[in-house]
Amino acid sequence: MTSKILQVKNISKSFAGVKALDQISLTINEGEIVCLVGENGSGKSTLVKIISGVYSPDNGEIIINDHSYKKLTPIDSMREGVQVIYQDFSLFPNLSVAENLVINEHLSSGKKFVNWKEFDHIAAKGLAEINVSIPLDMMAGDLSTADRQLIAITKATLAKARVIIMDEPTTALTQKEIHSLFNIIMDLKKKGISTIFVSHKLNEVTEIADRTVIFRNGKKVMDQDAKTLDIKTMEWYMTGRELDKSGIQFSHVNQQTEPLLEVENLTLQGKFTNVTFSLNPGEVLGITGLLGSGRTELALSLFGETPANSGEIRIEGKTVSIKSIQDAMNNRIGYVPEDRVIEGLFLDQSISDNVVVRVINKLVNHLHLINPQSISQVSNEWITRLEVKTPNGNLPAKSLSGGNQQRLVLAKWLASDPKLLILNSPTVGVDVGSKASIHELIRNLANQGMGILIISDDVPELMQTCNRLILMRRGKITNEFKRETITEELLNKEMVANRSGMVQ
């Protein structure tokens, strides 16, 4: 019954003498869901790019639908039914849903005129096939991330995909959206379409995979039935070492001291209402909830980006007014944004400049001129302290890997010596090894007396870092837990309870 759709045999690929892929062989069967797992730089993306024809392998063979190729062009790959859904979905934001869905087919058909009725017809049929309904006339740029992803999937199925490769598809999705994505992947499976699911999130892998393939340093180190694999084993294969979570030292919070941050009845019209909580120095407080629960908006209000309409914010007992980002900074509040590329970093500028951007006003001499030596000194200090792996601080920030970029954003904020650090999804798109060390860093910072707020919907992450958790739903705090009294399962259940509440 199972027939092989895609086979790669003994593929190797080197970049400037570094082996990105070393003798990789892999088979994808019809209707199979294969998860491709590995840390950053393990060769996953290189393999995806070889299968989709972006890179040509140094040696080896690719067999799709019984056609053998020494190297593929992107056109060959698409013609054989391989479709890749990249993280940015490659949609045209200024075109409608229908136009986005039909454009490829229209272009390849060579038609010179546009038949709008036909456009809508094809688009509607495509969406119906994967059971989603999105208005055809909406601009793709106005859609939510989840909907844009659905459009990208529909586009792939309309192009008669036999294998769909999804690159980190759940990164920007909420739990609820992840579940509907998984349902769609299961539907595709029933239709005989295979999925290659590239992911860092191991709990998702165990949920969706038929088979799991693990890469480490360009080699395939594991390829087996997903049912027989647990997360711990996968981590071991990915990192080559055991990530010990049992011995985590949580920060000790001194309950006697005055709270660092007190928020009382904070309200931002339409986003959140009457939010009240407090945070002690040395405490890590997690704020979780679904997308749209108001968690991100609350963080942005505390940081002055979208000031609250009413309510009170007190820092060390003193009422403060936070109407702008400058106000927040004057109160020594730092914010590590969710999207490090757009909100966090200056990718084309040097790593050093990124580190010192917050403190540049202090790095001047008596003539108010920038002192290049102070810049090197401060940036080197933080590059070393946060173990940002780079040969040279003068290289642009874009030369760093995802995990190191995230450390760089942290370095930028830590350099400004904040009392309160707000972290919004601090390890999105970061590999398991880096993730563990960022979590350790967060706990260490708290131990040194910093107050930390983590906004996240990554339950294992919250469990590994937070002393206390707040659950938000529709702009209100619905629940508060101490870490000692809650388990991962229970927290997941609480979020599920919220989810069923959302449907009504």
Partner 1 sequence: MKNSNVGYKSTIDKQTLLLLGIFTILMVFFGFVEDSFLTNRSISSMAIQLPEMGILSLAMMITVMIGGINLSVNATANLSAVLAGLFVLQVVPQLATDGNGGALIVTIILVALLVGVLTGVFNGFLVAYLNVPPILATLASMTVFTGIGVGLTKGQTVTGFPDALGMISSQSVFGIPLPFFVFVGVSIVTHVLLKYTTFGFKTRMLGTNPTAAKFSGINNKSITMKVYVMSSMLASIAGVLIMSRTMSASNAYGTATYVTLTILIGVLAGVISGKGSVINVFITVLILQVISTGFHMLLAGVKGSAFFKDFVWGILLIAIFIINYFSRSRNKE
For 217-367, strand residue ranges (E) read: 219-225, 261-268, 272-279, 284-288, 310-315, 318-320, 333-336
Binding site for partner 1 (CB under 8 A): 16, 305, 325-326, 329, 335, 337, 342-350, 352-353, 357-358, 360-361, 364, 368-370, 372-373, 375-376, 379-380, 383-384, 388-394, 412
- Residue closer to partner 1 (CB basis): 16 or 107: 16
- Residue closer to partner 1 (CB basis): 111 or 362: 362
- Residue closer to partner 1 (CB basis): 370 or 463: 370
Distances (CA, A) of 146 to 175, 179, 181, 323, 421: 11, 11, 8, 32, 29
Closest separation between CB of residue 427 and partner 1, Å? 18
How many CA atoms lie within 13 Å of 157's alpha carbon, on the beta-carbon side?
Answer: 25
- Residue closer to partner 1 (CB basis): 124 or 370: 370
Separation CA 458–CA 288 (nearest Å): 8
Closest separation between CB of residue 379 and partner 1, Å? 7
- CA 196, 202, 204, 210 torsion-angle sign: positive
The candidate with the shortest Cα–Cα distance to 323, out of 381, 389, 282, 268, is 268
Q: Encode 480-498: b = buried (16+ Cβ within 10 Å), e = exposed.
A: ebebeebeeeebeebbeeb
Closest separation between CB of residue 389 and partner 1, Å? 7
Closest separation between CB of residue 353 and partner 1, Å? 7
Separation CA 306–CA 297 (nearest Å): 8
Residue 52 contacts residue 82 (beta carbons within 8 Å): yes
**What is the token pair recorded at 242?**
């055991």
Closest separation between CB of residue 303 and partner 1, Å? 8
Residue 300 contacts residue 474 (beta carbons within 8 Å): no
- Residue closer to partner 1 (CB basis): 182 or 346: 346
Residues 6+ apart with CB under 8 A from 340: 405, 406, 409
The candidate with the shortest Cα–Cα distance to 159, out of 207, 102, 216, is 102
Closest separation between CB of residue 322 and partner 1, Å? 13
- Residue closer to partner 1 (CB basis): 238 or 397: 397
Number of neighbours of residue 322 by Cβ within 10 angstroms: 21
- Residue closer to partner 1 (CB basis): 342 or 503: 342
Which one-letter DSSP state was computed for residue 466? -
- Residue closer to partner 1 (CB basis): 34 or 355: 355
Closest separation between CB of residue 414 and partner 1, Å? 13
Number of neighbours of residue 81 by Cβ within 10 angstroms: 19
Closest separation between CB of residue 368 and partner 1, Å? 7
- Residue closer to partner 1 (CB basis): 404 or 467: 404
- Residue closer to partner 1 (CB basis): 269 or 377: 377
Closest separation between CB of residue 424 and partner 1, Å? 10
Place of tokens 């030369």: 399
- Residue closer to partner 1 (CB basis): 455 or 462: 455
Name all contacts of 252-256 with Cβ < 8 Å and 24+ positions apart. Answer: 252/282, 252/447, 253/280, 253/281, 253/282, 253/283, 253/467, 254/280, 254/281, 254/282, 255/280
Closest separation between CB of residue 365 and partner 1, Å? 9
Question: In terms of DSSP H, where are the helices of 52-96?
Answer: 74-79
Closest separation between CB of residue 252 and partner 1, Å? 31
Which one-letter DSSP state was computed for residue 134? -
Closest separation between CB of residue 95 and partner 1, Å? 22
Residues 6+ apart with CB under 8 A from 307: 268, 301, 322, 323, 324
- Residue closer to partner 1 (CB basis): 34 or 351: 351
Task: Name the residue type at position 239.
Answer: T
